[in-house]
Structure 1
Amino acid sequence: MPWPLLYILLLAVKEVFPQKPTFTKLSDIYWNATNPIFRIDNTDHIIDVNKGNIAFEYDQVNIICPVYVPGTDEENAEKYIIYNVSKEEYDTCRITNPNPKIIAVCNQPHKLMYFTITFRSFTPQPGGLEFQPGEDYYFISTSSKDDLHRRIGGRCTTHNMKVVFKVCCRPEDMHNQTSMNRVPTTSISSPSTPRPVPTFAPTFAPPPRVELPTVRPTSYKEIDLTSYNVKSTTKKTNEYEKHPNEVVKNEELTYNSAIRRSGSTHAHSWLLLLSVCAVAAAQRWDMR
């Protein structure tokens, strides 16, 4: 294999496995009935692990069994079997699995014993514990003073001897946490000019065009005033002096006849005026 290709391959392997796994120690857990973390008035028994760790960094915890000075009576010594159980078994303190997973056996009270748990998602050890991100793992101990192998009740019920390990974090949770930790950038934008509100002017359809009939002036005859005989006042006075009654009658007849002629003349004049006005109005309408 050429040296350049081998060098590139080694770099690729280094990128895939950038560093050896490192471990962070958590506080030790002393698994005895007098430990305050088992009190029911707090949540110290709920423990977050791998929170805020970088890649290939895992938390570790030591579970330390009860230990007594030599000469202590074994009958008064606490002995436990610690099981990894389901959520239902954790809540009820009842181990229903016929083959439960045993985490630790504390059965030698005069000897220091502890068990180290590494919270990683894979293990090179066959049958070892694996802890997947985003999952919860429940540990309980149902042993009693008289029965180490008891699986119902025991000190899980009387002394609340149970622990929850909450493994952080799922990939989507890490992405959300990273997004929340980013410093938000604020951009100041100039106020936008408000858009003018369109105004709709009412549209009116033009009125239908009405064709007015053309009014033509009717033919008329000019009145010849010279054809009327107008009697002079002198003659009238003389006739009135001679025949007053007949003169009065003749004057009445003449007056009535003149009124009729005058009324006819006025009617023709008004008709002519109306005709001219109608023609002018029609022409004005056509110009529009």
Structure 2
Amino acid sequence: MKWSQALKDFKLYLKIERGLSTNSISSYGLDVEKLITYLELNEINETPLIIQKETIQQFIYDFAKTVNARTQSRMISGLRSFFNYLIFEDYRTDNPLELIESPKIGRKLPDTLSLEDINKLINAIDLSKPEGERNRAILETLYSCGLRVSELTNLKISDLFFDEGFIKVTGKGDKQRFVPIVDSTQKFINCYKNEVRNHLSIQKGHEDTLFLNRRGKQLTRAMIFTIIKQLAVKIDLNKIISPHTFRHSFATHLLENGADLRTIQLMLGHESITTTEIYMHVDKSHLKNVLQTFHPRK
């Protein structure tokens, strides 16, 4: 079996059998592609069915010289999944990464923005330009609903249930959830939708997409990153931020104001509450407040 066919079948398996999102499938594929590139550059003619543990070890050793421990660990996990798939399909009987340990990494606490930072970023948007209304609606939605960037770019007009006070969000693995949306964010979305979006020449296939570029097509993830980074430079924000920073800030601020982890988990779309628990490490004062409020002998 050639690498190209094995990778194609692996991606299909991730999509059909495991129901992973397009972004997750792409990440797994990139891990395998890095190994393929390494083999080609070093003229190593080992197929997926016969590649040895020693070859994998040397690849990881060389790869580790250029990346941090977190990236290395994620790549090892991706390759391990690929070879587990080959075992699952009876192409191999062993996993060459079985005895290869991932580097130990500390738990990375998410970066957050203060409410003042968020207000400064939004106030820095130039509303005299047509994209200004759109960008304001984007930042308001990211923060007030805690969306992932892919969830934001894929948001549809038909997903807006403003009368009920919710939006329908399609998350990882195409799992859907309903997230509450505050009146002020509804107002900004409606303002963009009615005053800017309605005047665009919308391309076929994007009629239901909420946030569009000036050519009437769905915004890319990269464009959202660019918008946010340009605003950060504009206000001289001394932090490296991304769309995910707004999601982290959303969860942290809810926790600081008394929301429980289970509620935050549901709104973020975390499959396991363990993922949500990282926000307890960001704001330990919440633990003290809970004890003082609910303990019978406080």
Shorter-chain-normalised TM-score: which range?
under 0.3
Query: Greater strand share, 1 or 2?
Result: 1
TM-score normalized by structure 2?
0.17
Query: Greater helix share, 1 or 2?
Result: 2
TM-score normalized by structure 1?
0.18
Q: If you compute each CA radius of gyration, which structure gives the higher value, 1 or 2?
A: 1
